[in-house]
Amino acid sequence: MMRYMSHLLTIALVVVPVLAWKYIQAGDRAEISEALQRQIGYCWQGVDDLSEAAKIDVVLQFSLGRDGALESDLTIIDPSIKSQQSMSDVSAIGRAVDAVSKCAPYNLPANKYKIWDQVEVRIGPKLVNLAS
């Protein structure tokens, strides 16, 4: 399963309004991002078997409890769900949702809970830069 981890390229944390983002230490952001990437990457099935058009990034948002368990339903931020979405897009979205769901509860540093209580992750094969 670990062979797909390289496809999980970006984990972005949604923690505070953008104006306050600069006050969270870069080391803390990196530590949480790497932990989530490693754990979700282990559960992610990848998209290698899908068509090129279906190899999309999926952005999900969710809340975690202090024990690392999912506390909210996963919200699909991107791609936006359309009634005429292709089955391959739905497959990529389903795989991202499954990976996040299967890997919970997450093993994250309890003393940094305020950083990871609300999470937004980008899962997919495309390289994306964080904008914060």
Instruction: Check which CATH number belongs to the domain holding 64 and give it.
Output: 3.30.1150
Q: What is the pLDDT of residues 5-32, one digit of tens each?
A: 444 444 444 333 333 445 677 788 788 8
Domains identified in the chain, total number: 1
Residue 129 is assigned to a structural domain of this protein: no
Instruction: Give the integer Cα–Cα distance in Å for 89 and 74.
Output: 17
Q: Is the pTM of this model over 0.85?
A: no
Are 53 and 88 in contact by the 8 Å Cβ rule? The answer is yes
User: In 3D, which of 46, 63, 75 has the Cα closest to residue 104?
Assistant: 63
Asked whether residue 94 is domain-assigned, the answer is: yes
Q: Residue 80: which domain range?
A: 2-123
pLDDT band, residue 89 (cuts 50/70/90): low
